[in-house]
Chain A
Amino acid sequence: MMEELAKVPWAVIAPLIIVQIILMIVALIDLRKIHATNGPKILWVFIILFANLIGSIAYFIVGRKQS
């Protein structure tokens, strides 16, 4: 198991994973605080959690309702 993990090129993978996690957490925090979204809130939770990079970006662009 440890050898398998050591074989992964971490210098290549790690930044991608970090960016992905930050985006997801920020999107979820924002979703928690925001009053209303375009479309049902629970739908956005699933989009952010499962459509990994695209989901959080899509939430920020079209999901937030500004007013």
Chain B
Amino acid sequence: MRGFNILLQKEFKEAWRSWKFLWIPLVFALLGMSDPLTNYYMMDILNAVGNVPEGFEMLVPELMPVDLLQASIGQFQTIGLLVMMATFVGIISKERANGMATLFYVRPISFGAYFMSKFIVMSTVSFVSIFAGFAASVYYTSILYGTLDLGALLVSFCTYYVWLLFVIAVTLMMSASFKTVIATTCGFTVIFLGQIVDMIVGMFWTISPWKLPSYGILLARGTMEMLDYWWSVIITVVLTLIFINIGIMMMKRNASSTKI
């Protein structure tokens, strides 16, 4: 792990200069806010949009605070992941394409340290982001609906973070293996197509990384088979580690394809 600290500092500085530490958390905060607000003001929104017939009555289901947390996590799962992956997918391949990587590869740095410094920066950004997102969601839920149990919240937060680490590992592996365009396609395919497949035929198995976000909510509700949960967590962590190793390998192999 030669020069790990220096590389880490470089990555943090870069993320800070491009405002990633500021705007990605703000986007997540907005996503967290949107669901409690729109659900609470649904009747007002319908009235304001108009075309509600006279005497129209809608039976709005009684929402529990956990339901809103689930809705917010659903938002993170689509738009949040999209933003996160789109901003970070070029983190290795773009450096290769514009020749900046050449400046690093001629030096005796270890590829493991280089890859891990990027991984750590991404996971820090995503930690801050989902912290902001959860905080915004919980703030509005507690104002408009009612308070959430702190333990349940912590559990679903940690579970979601494990899932995000998996997403980050996939993104970085793709970025190390391919050019930016192909990496974007492959990364999105693995994450989003995996979710869709899991939604459609996912009832036949109970252990998969893609199920982890919904398991966090089930855990908060208290209706979760603990055995399935732990196996899913273990498999996700193992897959994350494997993807990191593949990423480091691919980075080494593709070092020669950098533009000079």
Which A residues form the contact surface with B (CB < 8 A)?
11-12, 15-16, 19, 22-23, 26-27, 30, 53, 56-57, 60-61, 64, 66-67
Check if B136 sits within 8 Å of A23, measured CB to CB.
Answer: no
Q: Which of B24-32, B67-75, B200-208, B241-249 contacts the other chain?
A: B24-32
CB 8 Å contact bits of B82-96 with A (1 = contact, 0 = none): 010011001000100
Give the docked Cα–Cα distance between A64 and B18 (Å).
9
Check if A19 sits within 8 Å of B26, measured CB to CB.
Answer: yes
**B37 on the A face (CB < 8 A):** yes
8 contacts between A and B (CB under 8 A): A15-B33, A16-B30, A22-B22, A22-B26, A56-B23, A57-B83, A61-B83, A66-B94
CB 8 Å contact bits of B8-47 with A (1 = contact, 0 = none): 0000000000110011001101100100010000000000
Interface size on B, residues (CB 8 A): 21
Which B residues form the contact surface with A (CB < 8 A)?
18-19, 22-23, 26-27, 29-30, 33, 37, 83, 86-87, 90, 94, 98, 136, 139-140, 143-144
Distance (whole angstroms) from the CB of B46 to the closest CB of chain A: 18
Residue from A11, A16, A57, A66 in contact with B23 in the complex, judged by beta carbons closer than 8 Å: A57
Give the docked Cα–Cα distance between A16 and B29 (Å).
9
Check if B86 sits within 8 Å of A60, measured CB to CB.
Answer: no
Q: Which residues of B contact A66 (CB under 8 A)?
A: 18, 90, 94
Residue from B22, B86, B87, B140 in contact with A12 in the complex, judged by beta carbons closer than 8 Å: B140
Check if A60 sits within 8 Å of B33, measured CB to CB.
Answer: no
Q: Which residues of A contact B29 (CB under 8 A)?
A: 15, 19
Tell me the nearest residue of chain B to A29, going by C-beta.
B19
Give the docked Cα–Cα distance between A61 and B22 (Å).
13
Check if B19 sits within 8 Å of A26, measured CB to CB.
Answer: yes
Most chain A CB neighbours (cut-off 10 Å) among B30, B87, B139, B143: B30
Q: Which residues of A contact B19 (CB under 8 A)?
A: 26, 30, 60
Q: Which residues of B contact A30 (CB under 8 A)?
A: 19
Give the docked Cα–Cα distance between A54 and B151 (Å).
34
Give the docked Cα–Cα distance between A16 and B30 (Å).
8
Known A23-B26, A26-B19, A56-B23: A15·B86 in contact at CB below 8 Å = no
Check if B26 sits within 8 Å of A16, measured CB to CB.
Answer: no
Check if B30 sits within 8 Å of A12, measured CB to CB.
Answer: no
